Structure 1
Amino acid sequence: MTLEILKAKEELRNLIDAYAYLGDEKKISEQMGLFTKDATYTVYMNGVVIANTTGTDVLEKEFSGHASQVKTYFTLNGQHTAKINGDTATGISFSQLKMIRENEGKDVITDYSVKYEDKYVFQDGRWLIKERVGYFLIIEARALSN
């Protein structure tokens, strides 16, 4: 493995971590800077497509609308594998997401186990997400007892 490939893999890992950090902090506008302008984002829950968005303008509106309903996000990224092919790459990553929302005056936490399949491009000197598909594999919601 060349030094160039190792550097690209590190940059891609930093990209998916930045996606999580900015999402947790609800910095949606900054998060959009991690995508190409024509990026696609698709979400599957229980094998059914529940969202399919193209373009960062639309994606920002959808993410902002979602973030307005969430009191707290917490993301923990796990393994990430990437295959580099010049100025393009593919990657698979796994995340644990927690979201706290208020429902009927009570805080409800939802845990999501997510597998992401990504396509990346190296553009203007940095890696960006061109396509992200999220498979929400395990979903558990419960009231918090605080």
Structure 2
Amino acid sequence: MTLEILKNKEELRDLIDAYAYLSDEKKISEVMGLFTPDTTYKVYMGDFLAANVSGIESMEKEFNGHASLVKTYFTMNGQHTVKIDGDTATGVSFSQLKMVREVEGKNTITDYSVKYDDKYVRQNGKWLIKERIGYFIIVEDRPLSN
């Protein structure tokens, strides 16, 4: 493995981690800077296509709407495997997300186990997400005890 490949893998992992950090902090406009302007973003809940957004403007509106309903996000990233081909790459990553929302005056926590299939491109020396498909594999809701 060459130094260039290792550098690209590290940059792609940093991209995925930045997505989690900025999303957890609800810095949606900064999250949009991680995507290409013509990006596509899909979310599957089981077999159901729950979201299908194209372009930064639509995605930012969608993300802001979702973030307004969530009190707290917490994300932990796990495995991240990439295949790099010049200025393009594909990747698979796994995350555990927690979202706290208020439902009928009480806090509820939802745990999500998510697999992401990504396509990346390097533009002007910076890796960006061109396409992201999130597969929400396990979803668990429960009252938050504290």
The one-letter amino acid of 2:58's match is V
Q: 2:95: which partner in 1?
A: 95
User: What does residue 85 of structure 1 align with?
Assistant: 85
Deviations 1:22-53 (A, max 9, x none): 00000000000000000000000011111100
> Is 1:9 the counterpart of 2:9 in the alignment?
yes
Query: What pairs up with 1:1-146 in 2 under 5 angstroms?
Result: 1-146=1-146
Letter in 1 for 2:21: Y
Runs of 4+ deviating beyond 6 Å: none
TM-score, normalized by length of structure 1?
0.99
User: Scaled by the length of structure 2, what TM-score is found?
Assistant: 0.99
Q: What code does the residue aligned with 2:83 have? A: K
Determine helix, strand or coil for the equivalent of 1:140.
strand
SS in 2 for 1:113: strand
SS at match of 1:26: coil
The alignment covers a number of residue pairs equal to 146
Structure 2 residue identity aligned to 1:90 = T
3-state SS of 2:10 partner: helix
Query: What's the Cα RMSD here?
Result: 0.4
Q: Which runs of 5+ in 2 are unaligned?
A: none
